[in-house]
Structure 1
Amino acid sequence: MSISPLRSLASTASRIPSLKQSIIPSSSRFASSSSTSSSTKTKSTSSSKPSTQTTPLPKDDWELPHIHIGSTHSPRYSEHYHNTLSSDLMYMTYSHRLANKVEKLPLEEKDLTPYEANRPKPPIMRGNRSLRTKTTKINENNVPKLESIIIHTMVKEAIANKATLLSAIMALRAISGETPNGGGKKGSSGVEVIVAKKSAAAWKLRAGMPVSVKVELKGDSMYDFLQSLVDFVLPRLRDFPGIPLPPSSTPKNSPASLTGIVSFGFSPTTMSFFPQIESNTDAYPRLHGFHVYFKTSLRGENAHEHARTLVSGFRIPFYRR
């Protein structure tokens, strides 16, 4: 490489300070003076004109719109019921006897005499048997389905100290995700505190004392709880055979057999297996046992058997003692 380019660079670098100290020509001075005079003229003209200020917009025009937080996806167990389980239940529980049964025509009411018109009807004596509910007809428009799931826990220590209910309330809120008017749902009541209806001197219980907590799940939150129960909790229970079936000697006309409600309970350790609680177990000073009630749309004869068939379709096992 030749040395001449380096010398040229050094000479240009030594000229830079001298360029800064050069005197500004008269033409540039004249331009600057003209610019200052024009600026003063514009200021004087602007000061003479009245200033126009924009009025702020009304409050209703700049408020943010209402944001509704809805569901982002349909629950997997809800799709399983509508796509697979409902047709299977229709096939298994359909009764041809009820479908082909001719409905009785309503009886024609007789004209009441002046003596009967102004007097109440006498009560009908039905003996000592309870009234039997009507059997639900199962057809394509009335397939058995889950209406709601109720989670209930009893806290005996709340009789002496009401503060012990806080751990149960926190646990049920974490499991169900239900809070009053939470998630944009106006009908959600959240976790409810149940008070005693009657007094019991043996347990030092008075009417109106809070003793238990419950929450009722419907819609997508019901299927989300069912999925976490079946996928995460039940497989981790050690030596879990399933839900015990009632004995075969249970009469079919009993009130429990005529209602389509399936209920079973779990120990306090089961609550710690839910992923919502397992991630932060230290936040709950005490865990409690709880009962789960599956409320179905079935009523009448064989309602409990068909309800167990519906619940078993969600992979909840049953066994005979």
Structure 2
Amino acid sequence: MAYVPRLKGKYKEEVVPALKEKFSYKSSMEVPKLMKICLNQGVGNAVADKKLIDNAIEEMTIISGQKAVASKSKKDIANFKLRKNIPIGVRVTLRDNNMFEFLDRLISVALPRIRDFKGINDKGFDGRGNYTLGVTEQIIFPEINIDKINKILGMDITFVTSAKTDAEAFELLKEFGLPFKK
């Protein structure tokens, strides 16, 4: 039998029945699901130092378990000494098994390592059932060796769901185990 990530199995066995009962869906196909997780990291000083992008790509690849790609600037901005098509950030899109493995590591290992952690804010919903979480330091992930990083950077983690409302997405992410503030 093929390997199934822990949270993927939990979704089928626990989350679907719980959400079906709570929102009184007629079919289990109506239950919202997690479509993808997008990781973004802006590297502000990458215009001056090209090596920062390479380090960020390497770190993001280690964190996500999937090859990261550089995000390039769309236009010239003179005030920031920015030219078109210069790498200024790093991004990764996780789907299926990689997504569930990353979510499991985020919930069980990375989030509890945040200093003075009291839960994540529920204000990151966009009105269409997607949630964005900002992380201030990449060193909360145990895969990152603190001695080898040369700059502490933050990142955005976006959970894209098939939910039609923020309430459905909130309940979906809460059922997965994201520790929202009470």
TM-score (structure 2 length as normaliser): 0.90
1:203 aligns with 2:80: yes
Aligned partner of 2:116 in structure 1 is 239
Query: CA offsets, 1:142-190, max 9 Å, x none?
Result: 2111011011100001111221111211111111111xxxxxxxxxxx3
Matches within 5 A, 1:24-63: none
* Unaligned stretches of 5+ residues in structure 2: none
Q: Any unmatched runs of 5+ in structure 1?
A: 1-70, 100-138, 179-189, 251-255
Looking at structure 2, the residues matched to 146 and 273 of structure 1 have their Cα atoms a distance apart, in angstroms, of 23
Match of residue 54 from structure 2: 166
1:276 corresponds in structure 2 to 143
Deviations along 1:241-266, whole A, 9 cap, x unmatched? 2222339xx9xxxxx31x22100101
1:132-147 matches, cutoff 5 A: 139-147=27-35
Root-mean-square deviation (CA, aligned residues, Å) is 2.2
The answer to whether residue 15 in structure 2 is matched with residue 85 in structure 1 is yes
1:222 is aligned to 2:99: yes
Q: Secondary structure at the match of 1:85?
A: helix
Q: 1:305 aligns with which of 149, 156, 167?
A: 167
Name which of structure 1's ranges 215-224 and 199-208 shifts more when overlaid on structure 2. 199-208
TM-score, normalization by structure 1: 0.53
Deviating runs (4+, > 6 A) in structure 1? none
How far did residue 72 of structure 1 move? 6.1
SS in 2 for 1:171: helix
User: Given the alignment, which residue of 11, 15, 24 partners 1:94?
Assistant: 24
* Residues in 2 aligned to 1:141 and 1:85: alpha-carbon distance in whole angstroms: 13
Indicate the residue corresponding to 1:260 in structure 2: 129
The answer to whether the 8 A contact 1:265-1:290 is kept is: yes
Q: How far is 1:201 from its partner?
A: 2.2
Tell me which amino acid in the other structure corresponds to 1:159: V
Provide the C-alpha distance between the structure 2 equivalents of 1:209 and 1:94, rounded to a whole number of angstroms. 49
One-letter amino acid matched to 1:272: I
Q: CA deviation at 1:286?
A: 2.8
Larger relative contact order (C-alpha < 8 A, sep ≥ 6)? 2
Do 2:16 and 2:28's aligned partners in 1 also have CA atoms closer than 8 Å? no
Aligned partner of residue 153 in structure 1, secondary structure: strand
Q: What is aligned with 1:286?
A: 151
Could you tell me how far apart the structure 2 residues matched to 1:273 and 1:241 are? 15
How many residues in Structure 1 have an aligned counterpart in Structure 2? 182
Q: CA deviation at 1:231?
A: 0.9
Aligned to 1:175: 63
Work out the CA distance in 1 between the residues paired with 2:29 and 2:139. 40
**Contact 1:155/1:164 (CA < 8 Å) preserved in 2?**
yes
CA change 1:281–1:72 in 2 (3 A) is: farther
Tell me the equivalent position of 1:10: none
> What's the counterpart of residue 89 of structure 2?
212
Aligned partners of 2:49 and 2:2: how far apart in 1? 41
What is the CA-CA distance between 1:298 and the residue it aligns to?
2.1
Judging by fraction of residues, say which structure has more strand. Answer: 2
SS of the residue aligned with 1:298?
Answer: coil
Measure, in 2, the Cα distance between the counterparts of 1:198 and 1:306. 37
Question: Are positions 1:314 and 2:176 aligned together?
Answer: yes
